[in-house]
Amino acid sequence: MKLSGGRSFLFRIKEGEEVVEYLTRFLERNDVRVGTITAIGTLRNPAIAYFERGMGDYRIVTIDGDYEVVSLTGNVSMKEGKPFAHLHVALGDRNGRLYGGHLVRGETLVMEVFVQELSGGYLERKPRMNGLSLWDAED
């Protein structure tokens, strides 16, 4: 889908927020319907997921402790009439080892977020046979 640039947001989430809920509320409050998200920071007790195709569902791994958010990369589109953030994350431990996957949840210590709104189109997730909610594919 061809789009053009909309509003840009650069901000810090305060300590103690659940990051996925916070970002979803941010998108709703600002009426961001399509866009991209990147962030860096630190998360406590994050949960990440890996999609098991055989099961048609996510396998969730919770890793205790504080982790550097080396990258948080994602996009925004509509799902069931509301803005939905699909987010993947790479997390570093105190020895610099990395873990990551689909971001399920995590508590913010510091999170510096960039949201780039895109305008000129409507992008919606719809449930599929394989257990995922996906956009229509590009030809």
Residues that bind a copy of itself (CB under 8 A): 1-5, 7-15, 26, 34, 36, 38, 40, 42, 48, 50-53, 59, 61, 63, 66, 68-71, 73-75, 77, 86-90, 92-102, 109-110, 112, 114, 118, 121, 123, 132, 134-139
Pairing mode, strands 35-52 and 133-134: unpaired
Give the residue with the Cβ less far from a copy of itself, 80 or 119: 119
> Between the CA atoms of 58, 61, 66 and 68, what dihedral angle is there, to the nearest 10 degrees?
-50
Task: Give the shortest CB-81-to-a copy of itself separation in angstroms.
Answer: 19
SS3 91: strand
Q: Phi/psi at 77 (nearest 5 deg)?
A: -150, -175
Task: Give the shortest CB-25-to-a copy of itself separation in angstroms.
Answer: 10
The whole-angstrom separation of Cα 41 and Cα 112 is 6
Give the residue with the Cβ less far from a copy of itself, 52 or 80: 52
Identify the CA nearest to 110 among candidates 4, 13, 7: 13
The whole-angstrom separation of Cα 50 and Cα 32 is 27
Task: Give the shortest CB-78-to-a copy of itself separation in angstroms.
Answer: 12
The whole-angstrom separation of Cα 135 and Cα 116 is 19
Give the residue with the Cβ less far from a copy of itself, 79 or 135: 135
Task: Give the shortest CB-18-to-a copy of itself separation in angstroms.
Answer: 15
Give the residue with the Cβ less far from a copy of itself, 81 or 97: 97
Q: Phi/psi at 14 (nearest 5 deg)?
A: -75, 165
Task: Give the shortest CB-35-to-a copy of itself separation in angstroms.
Answer: 8
